[in-house]
A = this chain, B = another copy of it.
Amino acid sequence: MTEYFTEHESAQAVIARLQQCDDPRFQQIMTSAIHHLHAFVKEVKPSMHEWRQAIDFLTRTGQMCDDKRQEWILASDTLGVSMLVETINHPASDGRTEATVLGPFHVADAPLLAMGDDICQDHKGLPCVVSGQILDLDGAPIEGAMLDIWQTNNDGFYDVQQPDMQPPMNLRGRFLTGADGRYHFRTIKPISYPVPTDGPVGAMLTRMGRHPYRPAHIHFIVTHDSHEPLVTHIFANGDPYLQSDAVFGVKKNLIVDFQDEDDPQLAAKLCVNTPFCRARFDVRLAPKPRGEPAKSLT
């Protein structure tokens, strides 16, 4: 260590100040963060003007956040960080259904509905019936699994983005499985939509030459007392943005056919108008490790 700060040993000078840190995990995180931050600065050698632009981006991204908008999660999502953290925390090599990003639009306490209920309250879009079964890793049905479902309306907005234009809890619902582990609900076929582009992250995407679209999807959280919680989506097969999802959320096993249907008898049986579509998605949950406390969802 030199006595004062030098360009050559800049990271070491900062890391040396962690000697009095009494939290080994925080020390590890900050050591790695400082190392990479200084390596990044030395690699790109920002001008004072560029540094100030970075400060401005960081500031405005925080200031764009409120109780309905989380621009920092959007930044994390669009830079692939959320998906990386999600994947590190939820490896799926044992046959469990793969996880993907939570996204910023989950709302707690969506209405608890009966199987077959329609979560769409604004009557726009192509009717859709989604069904499947919640299974354990041996393929046995799971009773008492809670599905928490949400998606945008047919204009591409979540209810919380349009509090004056959509009914509260539009396109949200929770469903509890019975002994057969089966679920089904009515909704609309999801559509692809852009992430919010009116903030600093939107400007960043434009400057990177990237589009802001997410392929059409429906969000699922599936929880059960004795199984690991699952945060995932189903994606609509054929969507033009499947391979360029703005938040890198797509995994091959999460792509589902949304089958077009126009049989009036089937429509009557499923309580939808023609034309409509159907999607089927089975979920496999991993058991919780014995003796460990339940992991927090978020």
Identify whether the interface residues of A are mostly helix, strand, loop, or mixed. helix
Q: Of the candidates B10, B17, B33, B88, which one forms a contact with A45 in the assembled complex, judged by CB atoms under 8 Å apart?
A: B88
CB atoms of B39 and A36 under 8 A apart: yes
Q: Of the candidates B39, B49, B84, B296, which one forms a contact with A41 in the assembled complex, judged by CB atoms under 8 Å apart?
A: B84
Query: CB of A94 within 8 A of chain B?
Result: no
Residues of chain A in range 128-157 having any CB-CB distance to chain B below 8 Å: none
Residues of chain A in range 52-85 having any CB-CB distance to chain B below 8 Å: 52, 55, 58-63, 65, 70, 72-73, 75-76, 79-85
Residues of B within 8 A of A39 (CB): 36
Query: CB of A252 within 8 A of chain B?
Result: yes
Query: CB of A294 within 8 A of chain B?
Result: no
Residues of B within 8 A of A87 (CB): 5-7, 10
Residues of B within 8 A of A73 (CB): 55
CB atoms of B60 and A44 under 8 A apart: no
CB atoms of A18 and B62 under 8 A apart: no
Q: Of the candidates B5, B10, B21, which one forms a contact with A207 in the assembled complex, judged by CB atoms under 8 Å apart?
A: B21
CB atoms of A5 and B250 under 8 A apart: yes
Whole-angstrom CA separation of A23 from B29 in the bound complex: 32
Residues of B within 8 A of A65 (CB): 59, 62-63
Query: CB of A248 within 8 A of chain B?
Result: yes
CB atoms of A58 and B61 under 8 A apart: yes
Give me the 8 closest cross-chain CB pairs, A-B, nearest first: A62-B62, A20-B209, A14-B80, A21-B209, A36-B36, A5-B248, A36-B40, A10-B84
